[in-house]
Amino acid sequence: MGNGVLALLKLVVGFVSGSYAVIADGIDSTTDIASSLVVLFAAKIISRPPNVKFPYGYKKADTVATKVLSFIIFFAGAQLAYSTIRILAEGTVMKTPSHLAIWVTIISIIGKGGLTLLLLRTGKKVDSPMLIANAKNMRNDILISFSVLGSLLFTVLLQEPLIDRIIALAISAFIMYQAFKIFMKSNIDLMDGIDNTQVYCKLFEAVNSVSGAHNPHRVRARKIGNHYMVNLDIEVDPDLSVKKAHEIAKNVERSIRKNLKNIYDIMVHVEPLGNQEEDEKYGITESDIEPLNPGG
């Protein structure tokens, strides 16, 4: 609702005052509305319980929604860039924006600041990476509004409307760049990859702290929404009873949950100490992450 009011205000004032930079800022706020709507729609799907068809649940809908969102954001930025370039190429007579554009931009900075604080505090309170990420995105919007305010002040003082168009073009490029980053990051999740490799460092630390658990290997982690699904093999003394080996595996699971937040599920496979299987192809060993963590 906050982004809706600000977007409408900036778009209307942008067209009335003749400021393409303010219109660009309004389009950026519109993408925030699209983001919220996509997240709300995805949240409804994500909340569905697992079933026979989707035994891991529906949390991947978050990643699919992010992919859709990246296209929406990129299209908005591309459309703005096309319109701005066409005006510059046609040599249309440009008017200097009115002072109204300056005031609405100041209001936007104050409003975005309030929304950023609200999202950040709530995100930390409920431990939601999605809300914290949205807060950071909102913080970027404040920077955009500050750049718009600067361009408007120079445009009005120098009576040179070309500055306003150039800033609008720069903002459109920034919007498309952010869309590309979102698109590429969602690819990692869809391919069951992990962009933060420190997760594996924490996993090995958790396993190594458990007495009786040896040689963690074939460690695999993937994202399901904002949660981690973890699979790994450990080795134990072959003379232990099944019950004792199971207790060690449970201790490994508890240690991982203590060391890592947002765990969806953990699967621990127990093998006898010294077991060798030549056909094992998938997963991470501790030696694989040493180059990534030279100080660890």
Whether 144 and 38 share a structural domain: yes
Of 124, 273, 293, 275, nearest to 203 (Cα)? 293
pLDDT at position 208: 93
Task: Give residues with Cβ within 8 angstroms of 218, minimum separation 6.
Answer: 231, 232, 233, 269, 280, 282, 283, 284, 285
Helix locations, the chain, DSSP H: 2-17, 20-46, 61-90, 100-126, 129-158, 162-190, 198-208, 242-259, 286-289
Whether 279 and 175 share a structural domain: no
Whether 48 and 182 share a structural domain: yes
The rounded distance, in Å, linking the Cα atoms of 289 and 200 is 7
Whether 38 and 151 share a structural domain: yes
The low-confidence residues of the chain, meaning pLDDT below 70, are 87, 90-98, 126-131, 133-134, 140, 159-161, 164, 290-296
The structural domain count of the chain equals 2
State which of 190, 225, 252 marks the end of a domain: 190
Burial (CB count within 10 angstroms: exposed 0-12, middle 13-18, buried 19+), residue 126? exposed
State which of 124, 156, 190 marks the end of a domain: 190
pLDDT at position 66: 76
Q: At which residue do the structure tokens 């930390």 appear? A: 124
Q: The sheet that has 214-224: what strands, in order across it?
A: 214-224, 227-236, 263-272
Domain containing residue 222: CATH number? 3.30.70.1350
Task: Give residues with Cβ within 8 angstroms of 145, minimum separation 6.
Answer: 25, 105, 108, 109, 112
Q: What CA–CA distances, in Å, run from 196 to 33, 67, 259, 283?
A: 28, 19, 15, 16
Of 127, 291, 66, nearest to 197 (Cα)? 291
Structure tokens at 268: 């621990």
The rounded distance, in Å, linking the Cα atoms of 141 and 55 is 39
State which of 135, 161, 190 marks the end of a domain: 190
SS3 category, 214: strand
Q: Which domain holds residue 17?
A: 2-190
pLDDT at position 241: 95
Whether 22 and 146 share a structural domain: yes
SS3 category, 266: strand
The rounded distance, in Å, linking the Cα atoms of 296 and 201 is 8
pLDDT at position 296: 45
Whether 38 and 87 share a structural domain: yes
Whether 145 and 223 share a structural domain: no
Whether 80 and 120 share a structural domain: yes
Whether 42 and 147 share a structural domain: yes
Q: What is the DSSP string of 132-200?
A: HHHHHHHHHHHHHHHHHHHHHHHHHHHT-THHHHHHHHHHHHHHHHHHHHHHHHHHHHHTT--S-THHH
Whether 136 and 243 share a structural domain: no
Domain containing residue 125: CATH number? 1.20.1510.10
SS3 category, 258: helix
Whether 252 and 283 share a structural domain: yes
Structure tokens at 160: 């040179």
The rounded distance, in Å, linking the Cα atoms of 46 and 157 is 51
pLDDT at position 204: 93
pTM: 0.67
Whether 213 and 244 share a structural domain: yes
Q: Are 186 and 66 in contact (CB under 8 A)?
A: yes
